[in-house]
Chains A and B, each alone.
Chain A
Amino acid sequence: ILNVEQSPQSLHVQEGDSTNFTCSFPSSNFYALHWYRWETAKSPEALFVMTLNGDEKKKGRISATLNTKEGYSYLYIKGSQPEDSATYLCAFNAGNNRKLIWGLGTSLAVNP
């Protein structure tokens, strides 16, 4: 059974802190790793789709790295702001299809 794990489950930081969290996935049959941000009362919004080992992607203050050989991806947020408060989901693609396996998310709260 393929499983995606995210840690920590939740995180509280102060405005201005930098933070990071982890998505772990099976290291075999890797096709893609997706990151989404999910704000309360809204729908998930795509951040990154990563496909190559060693990929690094950046969007404003948010960046992500990918290690497919060891099966993990890190999401970094530099200088957290209250508007970064959300649940961050990752999802793993084990085939050339759209069948994603989703983690449970890391819930981030940024205190002003």
Chain B
Amino acid sequence: NAGVTQTPKFQVLKTGQSMTLQCAQDMNHEYMSWYRQDPGMGLRLIHYSVGAGITDQGEVPNGYNVSRSTTEDFPLRLLSAAPSQTSVYFCASSYSRFYNSPLHFGNGTRLTVT
């Protein structure tokens, strides 16, 4: 049982480049989300999805796109990378879209934009 799998673990981009962070879960979870974690700040929600074909913006969505074509996959796309997007990114899923179910996190992707 792999849980939540994120790839890559590390990535270095140049300003203006685009890339996709992959996230897959094998627990048939309804809810999936992307967070970023920056020094001195709590985890911040970028985008989330409550089911295949449904996505919505979180707290800091600018510069990122998502799609959810299947229950299992929830990729995060950086359209034109900026140094401000240097961060650690976590994908998290939950069996329920509602507030009372715990999140399961992937191992994170450390992204540096130069």
- Seen from chain A, the residues whose Cβ lies within 8 Å of a Cβ on chain B are 4, 31-32, 34, 36, 42-46, 49, 51, 89, 91, 93, 95-104
Contact = CB atoms under 8 A, between A and B. Distances in A.
Interface of B: 4, 31, 33, 40-45, 48, 50, 58-59, 90, 92, 94, 97-108
B42 A103 contact: yes
Contact of B100 (A32, A36, A43): A32
A104 B102 contact: no
Given A31-B99, A93-B99, A98-B31, A45 B105 contact: yes
Which of B43, B59, B104, B107 has the most chain A CB atoms inside 10 A of its CB? B43
B26 to A, nearest CB: 15
Nearest to A32: B99
Contacts, number: 61
Given A44-B103, A46-B103, A96 B98 contact: yes
Contacts of B48: 98
A104 B106 contact: no
Nearest to A94: B99
Contact of B99 (A42, A98, A103, A104): A98
A45 B108 CA distance: 13
A44 B107 CA distance: 8
B114 to A, nearest CB: 24
Contacts of A104: 40-42
Contacts of B92: 44
Contacts of A32: 99-100
Contacts of B107: 42-43
Contact of A95 (B40, B59, B99): B99
Nearest to A47: B102
A49 B40 contact: no
